[in-house]
Amino acid sequence: MKGKALYAVIVAAILGAWGAVPPGPAEARISLEKCTLCHGKPEFRKILVDGKIQELFVTADSLKGSVHEKKTCVDCHFDISEIPHRERPRRVNCTHCHYKGNAEGAPQSDGYLAYFDSVHGKAIARGNAKAPLCQDCHGSHSILKAKNEGALVSQANVAETCGHCHIQIYAQYKTSIHGVAVAKGIKEAPSCTGCHGEHKIYGHTDPKSTVYATHVAEQCSKCHGSVSIMSKFGIETEQVETYKESFHGVASQFGSRTVANCASCHGTHDIRPAADPLSSVNARNVPQTCGKCHPGANPNFAVGKMHIDAKKKDAGIVYYVASFFKYLTIGTMLALIFHIALDMYGRTKRLRGEK
């Protein structure tokens, strides 16, 4: 009798424990319902000190379709312990779940570590309230994966997302050749992150930056040096090679920060094809562009091909000069080496006593 009673107690305890562990959907709904009591009203908003209106309207559908579909309000706003909350909830801290080795099953990444080192992360650390946190780029309730076209950080949308803060740069970029190409839906064209990187964004004066003066050429050549990408658009890849061989390219390779890199002439966010009259490399604008470093630059700077490859016939007179020196060098050196070889041959023969 005693044994049976004990058995029943143990079974009941196990069943009870099992039933209690997973948070039932019913419970989540309760939490959501509590929040939407206030936040579910469309007119629920707040006028901030600076006169801006902050919309506080959130419904049960706000998370629908996002990667956090199955989460509830307090999963992220975990500092709310009573409803209605008296304090303004703190900004959501994504690293609460998104760290390597987390138990939540959140995508495991150390991307946030790179973020803390980035120009944005450092601005936050310095106390700049305007600097972006995760949610400023990835969105708050409607977070989607980057490869999803609707995501704020998708290739098509990321420029606009960055443009929320970097509005002037966004305006320049939107009409540049890269911005236009992205708007057309060309997948290969770079948006902001294509050049600046994603989490590891640094200021362009930081040597770690992908757009640091001595890294620009390498960054551009990732696409512009690839025949498989450029051939799709009928763009030549020889620009990369000719730049590397030019004095500008060599000096940049040896660490000069003042020498011209791709962006110095072609622009950064406002890159346009040379035929565009607004382009910094349009023949009419070349004197001004070159004049940034070479004071007194005049239309002569634009006479002749810019990216010149002396090994190719279309380099014109430079090709013939290069060819002349090539054959002069080969001819002279062959004659000199021949003379030296004969001298050595004669010496060897005389040394051996053969006459």
Of these, 108, 205, 226, 253, which contacts other proteins (CB under 8 A)?
253
Of these, 127, 234, 296, 353, which contacts other proteins (CB under 8 A)?
296
- Distance in angstroms (rounded) separating the CA atoms of residues 285 and 282: 5
Residues within window 255-274 making contact with other proteins, judged by CB under 8 A: 255-256, 258-259
Q: HEC states along 86-105?
A: CCCCCCCCHHHCCCCCCCCC
Nearer to other proteins among residue 248 and residue 269 (C-beta)? 248
Token pair belonging to 137: 């780029």
Closest CA to 73 of 102, 103, 47, 84: 84
Size of site (CB under 8 A) for other proteins: 48
Nearer to other proteins among residue 64 and residue 294 (C-beta)? 294
Helix (H) or strand (E) holding 54: strand 53-55
Residues within window 322-351 making contact with other proteins, judged by CB under 8 A: 322, 325-326, 328-329, 332-333, 336-337, 339-340, 342-343, 345-347, 349
- Distance in angstroms (rounded) separating the CA atoms of residues 31 and 48: 27
Binding flags for other proteins, 80-119, as an x/- string (CB under 8 A) = ----------------------------------------
Residue by residue, DSSP assigns 186-204 as -TTS--HHHHH-SS----T
Closest approach, Cβ 55 to other proteins, in A, equals 54
Residue 282 sits in the site that holds other proteins (CB under 8 A)? no
Closest approach, Cβ 253 to other proteins, in A, equals 5
Binding flags for other proteins, 205-244, as an x/- string (CB under 8 A) = ---------------------------------------x
Helix (H) or strand (E) holding 302: none
Nearer to other proteins among residue 140 and residue 280 (C-beta)? 280
Q: How buried is 352 (Cβ within 10 angstroms: 0-12 exposed, 13-18 middle, 19+ buried)?
A: exposed
What is the b/e burial string over 195-208, where b = at least 16 CB atoms within 10 angstroms of the residue's CB? bbbbbbbbeeeeee
Closest approach, Cβ 213 to other proteins, in A, equals 12
- Distance in angstroms (rounded) separating the CA atoms of residues 309 and 314: 8
Closest approach, Cβ 288 to other proteins, in A, equals 14
- Distance in angstroms (rounded) separating the CA atoms of residues 166 and 123: 15
Token pair belonging to 323: 């060819």
**What is the amino acid identity at position 99?**
Y
What's the count of helices (H) and strands (E) in the chain, helices before strands? 17, 2
Residue 295 sits in the site that holds other proteins (CB under 8 A)? yes
Token pair belonging to 197: 């990187």
Closest approach, Cβ 284 to other proteins, in A, equals 15
Token pair belonging to 42: 């469309």
Of these, 247, 274, 278, 288, which contacts other proteins (CB under 8 A)?
247
Residue 18 sits in the site that holds other proteins (CB under 8 A)? no
Closest approach, Cβ 64 to other proteins, in A, equals 56
| Contact between residue 305 and residue 314 where contact means Cβ atoms under 8 Å apart | yes
Residues within window 304-323 making contact with other proteins, judged by CB under 8 A: 304-306, 308, 310, 315-318, 321-322
Q: Which residues bind other proteins (CB under 8 A)?
A: 244, 247, 250-251, 253-256, 258-259, 294-298, 300-306, 308, 310, 315-318, 321-322, 325-326, 328-329, 332-333, 336-337, 339-340, 342-343, 345-347, 349, 354-355
